[in-house]
Amino acid sequence: MIKDLRGYETQEVKNMIIKLKAKLLENRFKLVQGELTNTAIFKETRRTIAQLLTILRERNEKLTAKDWQHYKEISDKKE
């Protein structure tokens, strides 16, 4: 599942996180009202959100490392 999620663009991943958090809140209301019978959906939704957040964190680290390498190359040229 996470391999499929890695194929999405960063903005799409952010939008998916927002939608899933809204879905999680909506399901909480349904649970309180007694309309929701499958409580396993909470675990699945939280897991998917965590996977998406992990993907974002990994991309930011890669971007930061790339920026750091670029900065290092520029500073080496100045010397």
- Give the start-to-end residue ranges of the domains of the chain: 10-77
The b/e string for 37-70 (b: 16+ C-beta within 10 A; e otherwise) is eeeeeeeeeeebbebbeebeeeeeeeeeeeeeee
Q: Is the pTM of this model over 0.75?
A: no
Q: Which token pair is 10?
A: 């960063």
pLDDT of the chain along its 79 residues, tens only? 788 888 998 888 888 999 999 999 999 999 999 999 999 999 999 999 999 989 988 887 654 565 556 656 665 665 5
For the chain, the farthest-separated pair of C-alpha atoms sits apart, in whole angstroms, at 69
